Structure 1
Amino acid sequence: MLYETGRLDANFFSSPTDIASAIGELARSGELFRDIGISLWRVVCGFAIGGTLGLIFGLLSGFSRRTEMMIDPLFQLLRMTPSLAIAPLFILWFGFGETSKVLIIAVGAYFPIYVNTVLGIRNVDNKLVEVSQVLAYSRFSQIAKLIVPSSVPSILLGVRLSLAVAWLSVVVAEMINSKSGIGYLIYFGQYNSRIDYIFVGIILFATAGKLVDSFVRYLERRLLGWRDNFKG
């Protein structure tokens, strides 16, 4: 209504009708589904690499103070480095192909899982560990039956945050050096003054992020249904 009455400048905003028309235009040309598929594939690849490494190093740091002292300071320095700062370096190293894009996403996806895995292990109640020692649990049994299950809530939180950062990182990767994907759609809209394309890209990113987050929350409910938590 604000758009139709002229209260919103058409140079800065797009009407719902224009956005719907742009979605239809992109869908008919096949670009919409192509860009969604490409961005999703990049996020999946980047998350698979970054998430797996984050879990591995998180477990190593969580179980070993010595390992944490060796690798954590470097990781914390890298964690504070914005994706925009490392993107040019990856482009120089790996070129403008898929490798640099996926690695930018992987770096972003790595740290939330790493940090939350370490915290999950370190927050296990030490009294439970002492009880397991009294019951003569082996070290493997302690890890498999006590520490890892107790860490799952924190790890799943890391997965949620990691996926969110992965979607943010794909925007950076695709707007800098790409000719496809939702990020490129936003860049194309900016370069060609297509406000409707920009809003389409924003809506797609928001929708995809929400769907992925809802899926992880569903997994949380399925895997952690045994917990008697405060419901609010």
Structure 2
Amino acid sequence: MFDISKITDLSNIMKKYFISDINFRDSDNVIVLYIPNDRISEKANPGYVSKTQLENLANKLSNNYSVSTEIIYVNTKKLDEIGQGVEILLKAKFEDIIEEANFTFLTANKVNAWLKSKTVDEVKEKEIKIYLKSIFFDSGIQHVDIQWIGELEKLPSFIELLVMTKRLQPVLLDTYILKFSVDYQNINEKWLNRQLDKLIKKGLIVRDSITKKYSLTGKGLGVIPNVFSRNNSDIIRALDLGRREW
């Protein structure tokens, strides 16, 4: 088991890169860095760190200590409160349309919004987008990416594919089908392979050319919504790893 204290100049590294916590996951030999999202910016700025800087740090740690390094972006209390406030306002104004809203803060000024609705026409969709962006803009968040989730899905959404990848990675195509077939009887290899190829093109997952197994990229990890419960994808993955034979 790798000892975190062996990392040279650890305290200064944590301060420089705004690392709130660091640990070693011995189940898969990975150093895990936890970074508050309100300290992340698109480009390096005083008081912030960019994802490029963090990726360079991760590569450096992996090369220096012969282990993998994973970055987990976590919401702060401030961002949680912003998300909760926005959800309350959104549901109050569009109570007959919005059933659920989840927000993933990618940086201090960039958020992914996942909105669940039974039905929404183009006019209302545009109105909701304008309203949502105006609320976030007032909180200093200029970039809002909105995804709509239907009430009924006959096949897994791409966010479900990402969560399942995180849960099982590295994972074979057959394993996806086995896991998803419990809830989605229509899933098949041809459809799934096509969806995974789309995610590869978007830079959200990668496929090992030798093992044919899929894993998340840092970008893919960043777009998974944060859910602070036992169903959180990190918790699910930890439970699965604990049961898996290596």
**Superposed pair shares fold, TM > 0.5:** no
Query: Which structure shows the higher helix fraction?
Result: 1
TM-score (norm 1): 0.26
TM-score (norm 2): 0.25
Query: Which structure shows the higher strand fraction?
Result: 2
**Bigger Rg, structure 1 or 2:** 1
Larger RCO of the pair (alpha carbons < 8 Å, separation 6+): 1
